[in-house]
């Protein structure tokens, strides 16, 4: 097997779904203040198929996936960041989709500059060199059991401390014809050697939720608390912290669902800022701020605060944390809110003039929040304690729908995916 040493991310790199700090932000500055489908467009790439995966950038390479009908599956793509031209493409996942709401090209890649790792909702996990050489692959459903999800599964792999970690939080009984019918379906974390694909460890992650409320479409969050590196996982009506090596549970808090409603699947990933983990309960329920540093089963006093204002919630997008503020997007109500992490006080809440909901998670750079709707409508909002809409434009077309990929600020450019097209915006 090929052995590589990971590179060091440079300023401007966006190596995973939520960026270099895992919170949807970058410290990089110098992005264009105004842009549109025709202004400050450096290039437009045709990806050949749709998908909700967010671009991942390292140096002059852009990694993204697409569900390509002519290929019959999910394809890993590498584009030249300067020109937008295709460097290489590799099919790694079989099948296009299992329902009409999404495709298997939902999870985002992760890279260390030497290798790049792709996962598809079909359960196919594949490793390539950044030059496109296949290194290893797994069929997670074949090797670990069929997924028990009502909808198309999506989670992005995490690369941390020499481990590639994948989360599968699913219902314990079959979801129709999906999952084991004759035995329990376990939820688990599994870690692989990034160089060889060999399993390093697997941890069964239990929960007391029922049916669909056991399902999570979130991505684990690597974080260091009091000198201890942890992996924070959310789903199954609870949030938990785990040791990076072995997955042993350190702490857990729950629940936002005391009556055990059975259809509360969980989508937003956890986000950390200023000693607080945010847990976004589903279906317009509150957001809970959990104090970091706890051990064991946490009691209610571990909840620093919870939101109670209508519209300050998130059923799908993951919040961002930037310069001492949480920014929360309510996809259906189309509200963007700024929250004080110490008290949960809503500093401002404003509604965006979007014609469709906004399910892509917000990203932030250079004191600007970038948001995109299903229709491809783009909004740029100023960060800080006063709301200001800086830009409203559209990258969608008449038939555009279900655009869910987050806008990525990287190397002075904005990468905006609207289904099968990827726009690069730059000065």
The DSSP result for 386-402, as a single string, is S--EEEEEE---TT---
And the tokens for 185? 């379906």
- Domain regions of the chain by residue span: 25-425
pLDDT in tens, 246-268: 999 999 999 999 999 999 999 99
Confidence grade of residue 6 (pLDDT, cut at 50, 70, 90): low
Confidence grade of residue 8 (pLDDT, cut at 50, 70, 90): low
CATH 2.130.10.10 holds for 25-425: yes
Average pLDDT of the segment spanning 340-351: 98
Burial class (CB in 10 A: 0-12, 13-18, 19+), 132: middle
User: Is residue 358 pLDDT above 50, yes or no?
Assistant: yes
User: Is residue 397 pLDDT above 90, yes or no?
Assistant: no
Q: Which residue has the higher pLDDT, 98 or 288?
A: 288
pLDDT in tens, 190-249: 999 999 999 999 999 999 999 999 999 999 999 999 999 999 999 999 999 999 999 999
pLDDT in tens, 41-69: 999 999 999 999 999 999 999 999 999 99
Name the 3-class secondary structure at 266.
Answer: strand
pLDDT in tens, 365-394: 999 999 999 999 999 999 999 999 999 999
pLDDT of residue 2: 44
Q: What percent of the chain has pLDDT over 90?
A: 94
Average pLDDT of the segment spanning 341-353: 98
Q: Write down the mean pLDDT value for the chain.
A: 96
Confidence grade of residue 3 (pLDDT, cut at 50, 70, 90): very low
**DSSP letters spanning 159-221:** EETTEEEEEE---SS-BTTBS-SSSPPPPEEEEE-TTT--EEEEEE------GGGG-B----E
How far apart are the C-alpha atoms of 63 and 16, rounded to whole Å? 10
The closest alpha carbon to 24, from 395, 241, 425, 325, belongs to 325
Q: Which residue has the higher pLDDT, 132 or 97?
A: 132
Say what the pTM is: 0.96
pLDDT of residue 97: 87
pLDDT of residue 11: 81
And the tokens for 231? 């992996």
Helix, strand, coil in percent for the chain, rounding step 5 = 5, 40, 55
């Amino acid at each position: 097997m090929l052995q590589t040493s990971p590179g060091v991310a440079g300023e401007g790199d966006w190596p995973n779904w939520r960026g270099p700090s895992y919170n949807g932000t970058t410290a990089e500055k110098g992005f264009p203040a105004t842009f549109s489908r025709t202004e400050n467009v450096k290039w437009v790439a045709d990806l050949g198929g749709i998908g909700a995966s967010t671009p991942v950038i390292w140096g002059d390479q852009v990694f993204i996936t697409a569900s390509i009908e002519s290929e019959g599956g999910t394809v890993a793509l590498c584009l030249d960041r300067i020109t937008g031209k295709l460097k290489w493409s590799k099919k790694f996942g079989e099948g296009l989709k299992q329902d009409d709401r999404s495709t298997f090209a939902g999870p985002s890649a992760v890279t260390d500059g030497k290798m790049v790792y792709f996962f598809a909702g079909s359960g196919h996990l594949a490793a390539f060199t950044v030059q496109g050489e296949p290194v290893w692959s797994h069929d997670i459903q074949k090797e670990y059991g069929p997924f028990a999800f009502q909808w198309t599964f999506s989670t992005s792999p995490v690369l941390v401390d020499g481990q590639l970690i994948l989360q599968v939080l699913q219902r314990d009984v079959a979801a129709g014809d999906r999952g084991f019918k004759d035995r329990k379906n376990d939820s688990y974390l599994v870690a692989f050697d990034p160089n060889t694909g060999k399993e390093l460890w697997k941890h069964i992650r239990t929960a007391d939720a029922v049916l669909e409320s056991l399902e999570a479409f979130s991505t684990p969050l690597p974080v260091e608390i009091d000198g201890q590196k942890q992996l924070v996982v959310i789903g199954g009506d609870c949030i938990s912290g785990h040791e990076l090596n072995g997955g042993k549970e350190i702490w857990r808090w729950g629940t936002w669902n005391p009556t055990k409603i059975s259809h509360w699947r969980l989508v937003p990933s956890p986000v950390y800022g200023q000693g607080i983990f945010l847990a976004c309960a589903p279906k317009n329920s509150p957001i809970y701020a959990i104090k970091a540093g706890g051990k064991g089963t946490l009691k209610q006093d571990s909840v620093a605060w919870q939101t109670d204002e209508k519209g300050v919630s998130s059923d799908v997008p993951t919040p961002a944390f930037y310069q001492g503020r949480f920014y929360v997007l309510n996809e259906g109500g189309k509200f963007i809110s700024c929250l004080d992490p110490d008290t949960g006080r809503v500093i401002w809440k404003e509604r965006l003039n979007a014609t469709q909901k906004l399910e892509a998670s917000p990203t932030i750079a250079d004191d600007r929040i970038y948001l995109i709707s299903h229709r491809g409508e783009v909004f740029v909002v100023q960060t800080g304690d006063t709301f200001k809409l800086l830009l409203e434009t559209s990258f969608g077309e008449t038939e555009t729908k279900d655009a869910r990929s987050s806008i990525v600020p990287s190397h002075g450019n904005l990468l905006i995916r609207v289904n099968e097209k990827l726009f690069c915006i730059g000065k």
